[in-house]
Amino acid sequence: MNNIDGISTDKIVHEYGSPIFVVSATTLKTNLRVFREEFSKKYPRVVVAYSYKTNYLSGILDIIHKEGAWAEVASGFEYDLARLLGVPGNTVVFNGPYKKKEELKKASKEGALINVDHLDELKILEEIASELERTLEIGIRININVGVHQLPDRFGFNLDSGEAIQIVRRCVENKLLRIIGLHIHLTSYIIEPDHEENTIPARRINLIWPKSPNLYRTAAENVVWFANEIREKFAVNIRYIDMGGGFPTIDLLNSYVDAVVYSILNGFKSELPILILEPGRAIVKNAMHLITTIVDVKEMADGKRRMVIDAGTNLLPTSLWELQEIEYLVDSKSGLKETIVYGPLCLQTDIIAKTKLPELKAGDKLIIKNVGAYNFSQSSSFIFPRPCVLLIENESVKVSRKAETVDDIFKFETL
Ligand SMILES: Cc1ncc(COP(=O)(O)O)c(C=O)c1O
């Protein structure tokens, strides 16, 4: 991979420097189109709402919205970002455990789909409904035991304990809120303990992604059961089912589509609801790469090789729990050897990869592949400012975000 979408990596570094993030517009568009098509082939009413937190670079959001995706936001900040980019309020799905009253009020007035996370938020919405003197339509997030104990039940109302049905009863009785949607998100990945010894603390877990499609089947069947139940008991009419995110790359999607779609088609007992999906990783992970330069290579006393590169966990924070995939750009495999790839931070935990690399030297380039999900949005200016982000579209290169400078970083300081 000595080029990204036809643009040579040498040319990119020569013109824009290193390290540098590169986004492929073609991959983004293909991911989104195929994702939507795979569901739409089997289900008549599909909405794809892209998960902002996964990567909210405006160049990426712009492409995604032009391709027709809604926004899935998890805070008032992300909500405002969507509105700033011109996304209509009624195509925003507003999730998350901390939404302020003024944010909820604005989103209600603008017609956003608000998925309520907990009772205190529900109470705030009841207040807003009273103040606006109208019944507000809401969705509720629910959580269910799908048989994997690591899945958290801290988000939403629990179905198994009866908590979710109590919330429905409350809304029906006080008439301030009308439940029209059910939301569930099975988390991005499943966490399992890692028994490898001598790992740094954050890596004593393994992240399982993608998770089994069976979990989606169980979740969808339960959501459908609940929708039928509350229609029968309370005449609550569910108009959308939001299955959240956590989906795999598009080549593996088929069995996930079947798991979700057939559970609804076979089980839902009245007019089919809109099916909302909130992919993040599936859309953006393999659409962004980082080109990096080797700073130093050292054979250590124990015979192991370690190298330092110019990008660390400041830029790729997901490396703290998941090592990255690295591609080298030389043809030769001479001296191929297990190598620990460190970032440039003065931290023991600044490890990006452990992988077999040939003999390489300072100045050689590497590509850290598929880093589009949860890296840039969680990156920081710890020790180094963030570098430039390029977008490649139709074989032309655009700067999507400028490299940060010292002035940029200190402009918010007032003393
Ligand atoms: C509510 C919700 N929806 C969607 C997503 C996106 O998940 P993923 O990137 O795994 O598709 C997340 C991420 O954690 C989320 O919390």
Please write the tens of the pLDDT for every residue from 297-330: 999 888 889 999 999 999 999 999 889 999 998 8
Assess whether the previous peptide bond of 19 is cis (omega < 30° from 0): yes
Identify the residue whose C-alpha is closest to ligand 1 atom 12: 245
Residue 330 lies in a domain: yes
Which of 237, 264, 279 terminates a domain? The answer is 279
pLDDT at position 208 over 80: no
Q: How far, CA to CA in Å, does 315 sit from each of 130, 386, 388? A: 46, 7, 11
Residue 34 lies in a domain: no
Identify the residue whose C-alpha is closest to ligand 1 atom 13: 188
d(CA 209, CA 235) in angstroms, rounded, equals 38
Residue 265 and residue 316 in one domain: no
Ligand 1 atom closest to Cα of residue 141: 1
Residue 402 and residue 253 in one domain: no
Assess whether the previous peptide bond of 44 is cis (omega < 30° from 0): no
Please write the tens of the pLDDT for every residue from 349-404: 999 999 999 999 999 999 999 999 999 999 999 999 999 999 999 989 999 999 99
Residue 126 lies in a domain: yes
What is the model's pLDDT at position 300? 87
Residue 398 lies in a domain: yes
With a 6 A CB cut-off, is 245 part of the ligand 1 pocket? yes
CA of 277 from ligand 1 middle (Å) equals 10
Residue 83 and residue 221 in one domain: yes
Quote the number of domains for the chain.
2
Ligand 1 atom closest to Cα of residue 244: 3
Which of 260, 279, 298 terminates a domain? The answer is 279
Residue 14 and residue 47 in one domain: no
Ligand 1 atom closest to Cα of residue 374: 9
What is the model's pLDDT at position 194? 61
Prediction pTM value? 0.95
Q: Note whether 91 and 70 are within 8 A (CB).
A: yes
Please write the tens of the pLDDT for every residue from 180-202: 999 999 877 766 666 555 555 55
Percent of the chain with pLDDT over 90: 86
With a 6 A CB cut-off, is 313 part of the ligand 1 pocket? no
- What's the CATH number where 89 sits? 3.20.20.10
Ligand 1 atom closest to Cα of residue 282: 11
- Residues sharing a CB contact under 8 Å with residue 145, sequence separation 6 or more, in sequence order: 151, 153, 160
Tell me the best of 31, 54, 189 to mutate to test the pocket of ligand 1, counting ligand atoms within 8 Å of each CB and taking the most.
54
Whole domain around residue 372: which residue ranges?
3-22+286-410
82: phi then psi, degrees, rounded to nearest 5: -60, -45
- What's the CATH number where 324 sits? 2.40.37.10
d(CA 15, CA 13) in angstroms, rounded, equals 5
Residue 163 and residue 58 in one domain: yes
Q: How far, CA to CA in Å, does 67 sit from each of 25, 74, 191? A: 11, 21, 33
Residue 36 lies in a domain: no
Residue 162 lies in a domain: yes
With a 6 A CB cut-off, is 188 part of the ligand 1 pocket? yes
Identify the residue whose C-alpha is closest to ligand 1 atom 5: 245
With a 6 A CB cut-off, is 156 part of the ligand 1 pocket? no
With a 6 A CB cut-off, is 210 part of the ligand 1 pocket? no
Residue 132 and residue 171 in one domain: yes
Which of 230, 260, 279 terminates a domain? The answer is 279
